[in-house]
Amino acid sequence: MAVQKKFALGRGLDALISTEEVKTSGSSSINEIELSKISVNPNQPRREFDPVALQELADSIAEIGIIQPITLRQLSEDSYQIIAGERRYRASVQAGLKTIPAYIRTADDENVMEMALIENIQREDLNSLEIALAYQHLLEQYELTQERLSERVGKKRTTIANYLRLLKLPAQIQVALKNREIDMGHARALLALDDPKTQIRIFNEIQTQGYSVRKVEEIVKALTSGETIDSGGKKIKPKGSKLSEEYVILQNHLCGFFGSKVQLSCTTKGKGKISIPFNNEEDLERIMEIFDLLKKKE
């Protein structure tokens, strides 16, 4: 008897591991299954397992056994595939167990991927890039729209879209996100920059300067406004920040007027900023006197 997709997925984690559901649905049963008969799911969204944490779980299993059964689907009379619980399976193998308690479900390939994804997201076992890749797999493999996918996995469409946007970042930023060297907040802030080279430069500054998400958001906001920012002694200019001949003439005029190296930035949309640097308090007072004179002439 096939599991109805909407029912199985709509209840999220409860539909996967609830003992009550297992007893009443008629599509699942609980048994002790030989580990040698179990294979991992090749489409499992989780790709990496912390060896230290895995050994700790194996030690716990060796001492007190499996607390929560894993979830399997039956492939043949003596063959099963993991839907959810690969980490518990791997730890059980390390602990030297011969069998493991498992819920046996009937599920097609599409359900297997969705169940594994939901189970891991609910447990927060996946990093943000793994979630993005899993969403992309579901969209491409089963030709789903983002709206339909949001219904299937119980997430808002905007949430799914935000994860998928991470896959547009340069590869080295994606790798850092996967390795948790930066947070998703850092990555989302970088997405506001259109130029991959600028994204990488800011990413490098995040790593060397240890910038918080808020700091990166401030930097990105400044760059998108046409400002040149100073980070760790480096000048980073926004893409397309080269001034036209008319603006260069205007900038030179302002430099001469204020007796200072005035900085002028302008985006392609005509939005920009004028910055007047000063060397010390006396220099600042001199510039303020110029403004006072201009005000008196009004």
- Active-site residues: which are they? 86
Both tokens of residue 211?
């910038």
Contact 105, 31 (CB under 8 A): no
Residues 224, 202: Cα–Cα separation, whole Å: 13
SS3 264: strand
Both tokens of residue 242?
């080269």
Contact 123, 90 (CB under 8 A): no
Residues 161, 146: Cα–Cα separation, whole Å: 7
User: Is the four-CA dihedral 254, 220, 225, 170 of positive or negative sign?
Assistant: positive
Contact 100, 66 (CB under 8 A): yes
